[in-house]
Amino acid sequence: MTRTFNAPSAYVQGRDVLDDVGTHLPFEGDRAVLIADETVMNIVADPLVASLDAEGFSVDHVTFRGSCTPAEIDRIAAHARDVDVVVGAGGGRALDTAKAVRSDVGARLVTVPTIASTDAPTSSLSVLYTEDDEFDDFRFHGVNPDLVVVDTAVVAGAPTRFLRSGMADAVATWFEADAAYRADATNVFDGRSTRTAHAIARTCYDTIREHGRGAVAAVERDAVTESVDAVVEANTLMSGLGFESGGLAAAHSVHDGLTRVEPTHHATHGEKVNVGTLTQLVLEGRETHTIHELIDFSLDVGLPVTLADVGLDAPTDDQLRTIAEATCEPFETIHNEPFEVTPAAVRDALVTVDELARKRKRRDERR
């Protein structure tokens, strides 16, 4: 099997970069459509439109209604038939919608993430939801965005919970890409991983460990520091490339399993992934000190470590079985682990993480 590596054509990150998006476009044209929800539109429309206008683009606006559904994609695509470039701004759902619209209308794509919580900005796929807001399907577009623009001042101004969630997703990227690499499993493009993707995932993890605490402190005050810059790049660029070209494994499957029980619905994607990463470490038989280290880091930056932290105060046997079975569905990436995984093993790893994390928390409280 061949090795594959895919990435956006260009990536720009810095304070106030929204003011000169136009100068970074790696293509030409004269019609653009901007897709964002009302809140994001108020933040990004003025600088984006002024900057695109200076490069000769007329820009239409379409207000995103909040959910990446097939109907929403069709509705927006109908407004974007003859554009040269689709610009999507906001969180994962807005960007995923913009990606699907771009595929439908055949234009260029610029993604402008306004939070650093997901891997959506750089990737080539969209996560689709049903009208009832449940996971529907993945849509693979086979092509990554042409340009990703991250304004660190905008990202630092968003609630800290988004940055933290993105950090959890970025930490998972390393452990999952490494598991997939060791197992010689396939990545999102059905190819083998590359040494490049593996190295990016490793740097992603190191960056979060080195700068995570400092970045969270800065963003609590809406401040942009070098640590914020480092973490935003890790959450967005490194995590995006690392997961897509490196491959996923147990952590994201545990996340998917957790979403099957209602009490976890208030936890973000990254928060559930964090419990997934700890579960993966137990499944893999990692040394206790390695697991303690990640629990301690999570507690320092305010990420969940116990089942209660993600809404499951007193999980029933039924709930644990539901989670463990969903985690091991045949299509789940947990089967990329270099050993056989069963629902029983997942259940036992989950409750062990819970016990380890509770003990660690109590120890912290006594200090």
Least Å distance, CB 158 to Zn ion, is: 18
Looking at 65-73, 167-175, 209-217, 279-287, which segment touches Zn ion (CB under 5 A)?
A: 167-175
Residue 2 burial (CB count, 10 A): 7
CA distance 123 to 115: 15
Kindly name the residue from 119, 146, 169, 229 that is annotated as catalytic.
169
What is the Cα–Cα distance from 300 to 297, expressed in whole angstroms? 5
Shortest distance, position 169 Cβ to Zn ion, whole Å: 4
Dihedral (C-alpha) 108, 114, 116, 119: value to the nearest 10 degrees? -30
From its phi and psi, is residue 14 left (phi > 0), alpha (psi between -120 and 50) or beta?
left
Asked if 332 is part of the footprint of Zn ion (rule: CB under 5 A), the reply reads no
* Cβ proximity of 162 and 219 under 8 Å: no
For residue 61, give both structure tokens: 């606006």
169 vs 337, beta carbon nearer Zn ion = 169
DSSP type of residue 33: E
Q: Name beta bridge partners: 87.
A: 34, 110
Q: Which of 146, 178, 252, 309 is catalytic?
A: 252
Binding region for Zn ion (CB under 5 A) out of 168-176, 199-207, 257-265, 275-283: 168-176
Please choose, out of 28-36, 60-68, 165-173, 283-291, the segment that lies near Zn ion by the rule CB under 5 A. 165-173
Q: Which is nearer to Zn ion, 51 or 117 (CB)?
A: 117
Nearest to Zn ion of 14, 140 (CB atom)? 140
Give the span between the Cα atoms of 2 and 15, in whole angstroms: 39
- Minimum distance of Zn ion from residue 117's CB (angstroms): 9
- Judge whether 318 counts as a catalytic residue: no
Question: To the nearest 10°, the Cα dihedral for 320, 322, 325, 327?
Answer: -80
Q: Please choose, from the candidates 145, 29, 49, the residue with its C-alpha nearest in 3D space to the C-alpha of residue 95.
A: 145
Chain centroid to Cα 49, Å, comes to 27
Number of residues in contact with Zn ion under rule CB under 5 A: 1
Q: What angle do CA 339, 298, 215 make, to 5 degrees?
A: 120
CB of 138 vs Zn ion, minimal distance in Å: 12
Clarify whether 317 is annotated catalytic.
no
Nearer to Zn ion, 75 or 335 (CB): 335
**Interacting positions 76-135 with Zn ion (CB under 5 A):** none
Tell me whether residue 265 is one of the annotated catalytic residues.
no
Catalytic residue among 198, 229, 269, 309: 269
Q: Is 176 a binder of Zn ion (CB under 5 A)?
A: no
Q: Shortest approach of Zn ion to residue 176 CB, angstroms? A: 9
341: CB partners within 8 A, 6+ apart: 250, 283, 328, 334, 335
Least gap, CB of 355 to Zn ion (angstroms):
25
Nearest CB to Zn ion, comparing residues 169 and 271: 169
Contact segment (CB under 5 A) with Zn ion among 80-88, 142-150, 166-174, 214-222 equals: 166-174
Kindly tell me the sign of the dihedral angle through the C-alpha atoms of 7, 8, 9, 13. Answer: negative
* Interface with Zn ion, residue 169, by CB under 5 A: yes
- 198 as an active site residue: the answer is no
Residues in contact with Zn ion by CB under 5 A are 169
The catalytic residue positions are: 169, 252, 255, 269
